[in-house]
Amino acid sequence: MYDVIIIGAGIVGCSTAYYLSQYDLKVAVLEACNDVSMGTTRANSAIIHAGYDPEPGTLMARHNVKGALMIRELCRRLDVPYKQCGALVVGFDDKDMETIQTLYERGLVNGVEFLKILNREETHDLEPQLSADIKGALLAPTSAIVSPWELALALMEVAVENGVELKLNNKVEAISKSDEVFTVRTSEGEYHGRYVVNAAGIYSDAIHEMIGQKEFTITKTKGEYYLLDKSEGRRVSHTIFQCPSKVGKGVLVSPTVHGNLIVGPNAEDSDNTDTTYEGLQFVRKTAVRSVPFISFGDNIRNFAGIRAKNDRGDFIVEESHSVPGFYNIAGIMSPGLSSAPSLALEAVDWLKGKMELHKKAEYKETRKKVRFNQLSAEEKNELIKKDPRYGRIICRCETVTEGEIVEAIHGVIPAVSIDAVKRRCNAGMGRCQGGFCGGKVAEILVRERGISPLDVLQNQRGTNILVRELKVK
């Protein structure tokens, strides 16, 4: 019997598991997919927003500002790529400049530091590649970029090392409660727990309705992106936003922590992650208004993520009204990534109101990773002497070694697919997108996991890259 069952291993579930793992509790995380961070957390703009956008007084405003500060510290502790590159919200006319004034004032009320309104010259001094049509901008120096999936993984790895049980491939199908105990039935079995935290992203309404009355509705809104090669990665040095509209923060152009350029998203009601010609054309046309000379010929990948837009217009962070002991962290749309650790602490506080929580005598809070391409020549030689597999480069675009891939496959949360290896050590993230190293990564997965080549997955269950043997000896 678990004290707490968390449903969903996105950034919200992983953050909740991380903080709960510091207490003397038996915690399980049930995740439908074969890895953490397989929902919205792996496909978004990856911005840690400064906090000037949400309306003052909302949960979004409070958790964004607090969460952004927590993420800066967490990324340091957990060795996760993070860069405080700052953001500019650019304006093209007087109406936009009024919006920028409103954002500036909101930011002050929300407690965002160092905000400044810039005129045209000041804006171009900071970002010479911006359109000549720009009238001015809001500068938010505390805005940052991060690797969202690495942050989620790092949080869950530490949680698992502290005793949290991560149950992957466990899709929750039914929930019931009797005698103060929840029974959560999944595709794999049954789990019993005293409390449940619902962090199921775009399905959090469906999960709540498995046991409670309808209290909120999630609408799924897709956002599509271009990810450009590193040759475009220095096109801008800040995240460039246009003024927000009713449908969201609009199309941005931003460097990524991995050195690429990200451009997007649009906003279309949709529950699939297919990219479309129309969606990408819209992104492209809108982006060049602010950054005209983006070389879209250097695009290396398109992808889409799905927002969990809810009908309350704010985060839902509360105990269910109809099911005591069931806590929703639901409808976590943007700035959900920036807010996640703060939302998780809210769940911990709620639990403290329900039961006595005692910190463990010892628990882990930090994590360290080997990134071969960031080591000095001496450190590289030292590592290769200890383990020659660090001397064999598998991914040439990103300089990722066999040693790092083997480490990913045998890590705290083992990588079971080619994409899971990529999320842990960047193999296949570069210009060729795995064209050269994909086959080698597959071979290493076969060898290290002792599986048949026919069982190598690109990503999810059912994405086998080989379907049958051509020549049988």
Ligand X SMILES: Cc1cc2nc3c(=O)[nH]c(=O)nc-3n(C[C@H](O)[C@H](O)[C@H](O)COP(=O)(O)OP(=O)(O)OC[C@H]3O[C@@H](n4cnc5c(N)ncnc54)[C@H](O)[C@@H]3O)c2cc1C
- Residue 172 found at the interface with ligand X (CB under 6 A): yes
What are the residues whose beta carbons fall under 8 Å from the beta carbon of 320, sequence distance 6 or more? 208, 211, 212, 215, 326, 327, 328
Structure tokens at 206: 């469906």
Span of 6-14, 156-164, 382-390, 431-439 interacting with ligand X by CB under 6 A:
6-14
| 3-class secondary structure, 236 | coil
Other Cβ atoms less than 10 A from the Cβ of 281: the count is 12
Residue 300 — φ and ψ, nearest 5°?
-110, -15
Residues 230-289 that bind ligand X (CB under 6 A): 265
Residues 23-52 that bind ligand X (CB under 6 A): 30-33, 38-41, 44-47, 49
Catalytic residue among 49, 63, 238, 258: 49
Q: How far apart are CA 326 and CA 191, in angstroms?
A: 15
Closest alpha carbon to 305 in 278, 277, 334, 281: 334
Q: Which helix (H) or strand (E) holds 383?
A: helix 377-386
Span of 7-15, 290-298, 385-393, 404-412 interacting with ligand X by CB under 6 A:
7-15
Residue 366 — φ and ψ, nearest 5°?
-125, 170
Query: Minimum Å distance from CB 170 to ligand X?
Result: 6
Query: Could you give the count of Cα atoms lying within 13 Å of 232 in the half-sphere of its Cβ?
Result: 23
Please report, as a single letter, which amino acid is at residue 229: D
| 3-class secondary structure, 170 | coil
- Residue 54 found at the interface with ligand X (CB under 6 A): no
Residues 316-375 that bind ligand X (CB under 6 A): 332-338
Strand partners, 417: 457
Q: Mark whether 49 is an active-site residue.
A: yes
Residue with Cβ nearer ligand X (139 or 337) = 337
User: Binding mask 287-306 vs ligand X (x if CB under 6 A, - otherwise)?
Assistant: ------------------xx
Query: Minimum Å distance from CB 310 to ligand X?
Result: 11
Span of 53-61, 194-202, 382-390, 401-409 interacting with ligand X by CB under 6 A:
194-202
Residue with Cβ nearer ligand X (58 or 231) = 58
| 3-class secondary structure, 356 | coil
- For 280-329, give the DSSP string: HHHHHHHHHHHSTT--GGGEEEEEEEEEEEETTSS-EEEE-SSSTTEEEE
Location of structure tokens 């990564």: 441
- Give the one residue of 4, 5, 6, 12 binding ligand X; rule: CB under 6 A: 12
- Residue 10 found at the interface with ligand X (CB under 6 A): yes
- Give the one residue of 5, 6, 9, 425 binding ligand X; rule: CB under 6 A: 9
Size of the site for ligand X (CB under 6 A): 40
- Residue 6 found at the interface with ligand X (CB under 6 A): no
Residue with Cβ nearer ligand X (228 or 444) = 228
Which residues have a catalytic role annotated?
49
Q: Which residues bind ligand X (CB under 6 A)?
A: 7-13, 30-33, 38-41, 44-47, 49, 171-172, 199-203, 207, 223, 265, 305-307, 332-338
